[in-house]
Amino acid sequence: MFSMTIDGKPAETVATFDVVNPTSGEVEEQAPECTPDQLDVAMASAQQAFASWRKDADARRGAMEDLAKAIVANADELTAALVRESGKPVAVAAAEPAICATWLGYYAGMDMPRETLVDDDTALIELAHRPLGVVAAITPWNFPLGLAMWKIAPALRAGNTIVIKSSPFTPLASLIMGRIMGEVLPPGVVNTITGGDALGAAMTSHRVPRKVSFTGSVAAGKKVAVSSAADLKRVTLELGGNDPAILLEDADVPDAAAKLLGTAFFNTGQACALPKRIFAPTARYDEVVEAFAAVANSLRVGDPYDEATNLGPLSTKPQYERVTELVADAISHGARVAAGGGPVDGPGFFFRPTVLADVSEGIRIVDEEQFGPALPILRYDDIDDAVQRANDTEYGLCGSVWSADADRATDIAERLEVGTTFINTHAILPPSVQFGGAKSSGLGVENGLPGLLSFTEAQVVHRARAPR
């Protein structure tokens, strides 16, 4: 039985909701639905724990290192739950507990900066950073543990306490990690709750949290921003993307196709920062389409536990229906299917790795975030036109430019209106590098020192040295 962890203890399960295994398409588990009273208890517990947790940075570092070890020790159980609820191939799922340990170790080892602004006869003025208090953390279903730890590790290091909610599609691994956190950390430091979108909304409008850290869709992110504004909670929003990848005429096409398509279909295409629109020069268009289609056709879709599997199912039924609909819509508007083209027959939410050619703006799969294994390849004649079209979207998460001339590619890459622009690679996201979206892809950043500071409030400490 899966239970929430509130105030360091398993919480009583009052009501439950269904959890579907996307490999079978069947309901396989029940997860606890957090009641309004339980949310209040979780918030009060986090608020109480904050008073002592904020005081001792060395104790926090030690606890974070212990937590990393406990997560590694329980990695098999966490991985199995992830495979069950999300359909990820086991190797992709196994990366998540490892990411958690890496992020905890990175932030446990980081010093909180304290900057001297003035140091003269009159004063010592320093800039320090205080924790905010209780953080409400809300995560999506595509990387349930990894994206949670992008919030938990820096929030804990800075001295905050947390109430965290996973996506209702993928509560299981998060509940297990909640149990582990409850065993290792003092009671109330991290409270793990589960429930639907209404619970997320109740968290953002709750009077206790001083910060909301949200990862999810643009539509929900906008609601979170409005709700948090009521009492000026600090907000970080990591939202969707529609990343462009532009190949220049001198790009190494087979290399770019292998890397870009492998990245685009990582986690069955379900990640925010993946290539979602490919721009190819007309002179090399057919070669590019052929190369991408060959890579797509070489990928195996199937049982997440089969080591030969590259792509598991889409993780949720709505996502499966959405990708199916977007591909059918593109085909009905004249897209040429270079690979794949639709769902796999049979149970579960499996979809064939799909490459669409002869597509352009004005078709939904180009204009919207597809979040699945279906990639449109667009044609361009003029690089300025390609850059303008790449930027002609509300999204601005990442982008990339591919060329044998890295300097020229860098010049073009810097013209993309995105939070991270890559040259001859895409979606490499180490813990030390800040990550965030431009435009509607987000507000604020996670990771690196800026990610840590986003869980603090700056405080000027002004010590007078001489009477004035």
Q: Are 22 and 3 in contact (CB under 8 A)?
A: no
Q: How far is the CB of 272 from ligand NAD (least distance, A)?
A: 3
At 311, list the tokens. Answer: 């792509």
Helix-then-strand count for the chain, H and E: 15, 20
Nearest 5°: CA angle at 352, between 351 and 354? 115
Q: Which is nearer to ligand NAD, 94 or 239 (CB)?
A: 239
Q: How far is the CB of 83 from ligand NAD (least distance, A)?
A: 18
Q: How far is the CB of 172 from ligand NAD (least distance, A)?
A: 14
Q: Which is nearer to ligand NAD, 142 or 403 (CB)?
A: 142
Q: How far is the CB of 371 from ligand NAD (least distance, A)?
A: 6
Q: Which is nearer to ligand NAD, 243 or 303 (CB)?
A: 243
Helices 218-229 & 197-204, crossing angle to 10 degrees? 30
Q: Which is nearer to ligand NAD, 29 or 197 (CB)?
A: 197
Alpha helices for 197-313 (secondary structure H) = 197-204, 218-229, 253-264, 285-298
> Which among 99, 105, 211, 117 is positioned nearest to 163, based on CA atoms?
211
Q: How far is the CB of 384 from ligand NAD (least distance, A)?
A: 28
Q: Are 358 and 375 in contact (CB under 8 A)?
A: no
**In whole angstroms, how far apart are CA 392 and each of 117, 329, 382, 435, 457?**
41, 21, 15, 21, 35
Q: Which is nearer to ligand NAD, 21 or 420 (CB)?
A: 420
At 133, list the tokens. Answer: 């208090």
Q: Which is nearer to ligand NAD, 197 or 287 (CB)?
A: 197
> Which among 312, 291, 309 is positioned nearest to 300, based on CA atoms?
309
As a whole number of angstroms, the distance between CA 237 and CA 222 comes to 9
Choosing from 34, 100, 272, 398, the catalytic residue is 272
As a whole number of angstroms, the distance between CA 252 and CA 296 comes to 17
Q: Which is nearer to ligand NAD, 144 or 348 (CB)?
A: 144
Q: Are 15 and 188 in contact (CB under 8 A)?
A: no
Known catalytic residue at 238: yes
Positions touching ligand NAD (CB under 6 A) are 138-142, 147, 165, 167-168, 196-197, 200-201, 204, 215-217, 220, 223-224, 238-241, 272, 369, 371, 397, 437, 442
At 16, list the tokens. Answer: 């439950």
Q: How far is the CB of 40 from ligand NAD (least distance, A)?
A: 17
**In whole angstroms, how far apart are CA 316 and each of 3, 84, 345?**
22, 12, 16
**Which DSSP state fits 464?**
E
Choosing from 238, 369, 398, 446, the catalytic residue is 238
Hey, what long-range contacts does 174-177 have (CB within 8 A, 24 or more apart)?
174/139, 174/144, 174/145, 174/148, 175/2, 175/3, 175/4, 175/5, 175/31, 175/32, 176/2, 176/74, 176/77, 176/78, 176/81, 177/71, 177/78, 177/100, 177/145, 177/148
Q: How far is the CB of 167 from ligand NAD (least distance, A)?
A: 4
Q: Which is nearer to ligand NAD, 33 or 369 (CB)?
A: 369
| C-alpha 190: how far from chain center | 19
Nearest 5°: CA angle at 412, between 407 and 414? 95
Residue nearest to ligand NAD (CB): 200
Query: Annotated active-site positions, please?
Result: 238, 272
